[in-house]
Amino acid sequence: PVTLEELQAVLVAPLAPAQILEAVDGLRRRSLVERGQRAGSFTLQSVVLEDVTGRLVRTASQEIVQERLQLLREQSLSQAQAKDYVRQTQERLLLAPLLARLQSSVPGHVEVEPRLRS
């Protein structure tokens, strides 16, 4: 669960708090997000989180294989400055599945690292 302030702090393109609140409220009305346990926090519904995570991993993998980075230039898959438990969750849910997908789709595991570094 995140608060509006936490969400605003990690956005690549800064938005006004009113815009973020409006977007989150729209998602809540569509039952895509729910209130978190902390006051003022919210989280994605479990099924939505699973779907979005899968799409993100597939898209990131395709971009790396095709060497056409768009989403990955705009979105971070891991926050270096995040708390340890957040970073570990990002690694488990995003980075590990991405690496597994790349290793199965790129001929020769050796090629994965140079593609990621370029």
**pLDDT tens-digit profile of 59-73?**
999 998 888 888 888
35 and 3 share a domain?
Answer: yes
Structural tokens at position 46: 């479990």
Q: Are 40 and 3 in contact (CB under 8 A)?
A: yes
Greatest C-alpha distance within the chain: 48
Report pLDDT digits (tens) over 39-60.
989 999 999 999 999 999 999 9
In whole angstroms, how far apart are CA 108 and each of 60, 74, 101, 112, 118? 19, 28, 13, 8, 17
Note whether 28 and 83 are same-domain residues. Answer: no
Q: Give the CA distances from residue 90 to residues 7, 31, 77, in Å, rounded to whole numbers and listed in that order.
A: 15, 24, 7
Shared domain check, 85 and 51: yes
Q: What is the pLDDT of residue 114?
A: 65
Rounded Cα distance, 95 and 90, in Å: 7
**Looking at the structure, do residues 5 and 62 belong to the same domain, yes or no?**
no
Owning domain of residue 25: 1-44
Strand order in the sheet with 2-3: 2-3, 41-44, 33-35
Residues 22 and 57 in one domain: no
Check: CB of residue 59 under 8 Å from CB of residue 72: no
For 25-38, what is the mean pLDDT? 93
> Number of folded domains in the chain?
2
Q: For all residues of the chain together, what is the average pLDDT?
A: 86
What pLDDT does residue 41 have?
92
Q: Are 98 and 55 in contact (CB under 8 A)?
A: no
In this structure, the answer to whether residues 105 and 50 fall within a common structural domain is yes
Give the torsion through C-alpha atoms of 50, 56, 58, 63, to 10 deg: 180
User: Is-above-0.75 flag for pTM?
Assistant: yes
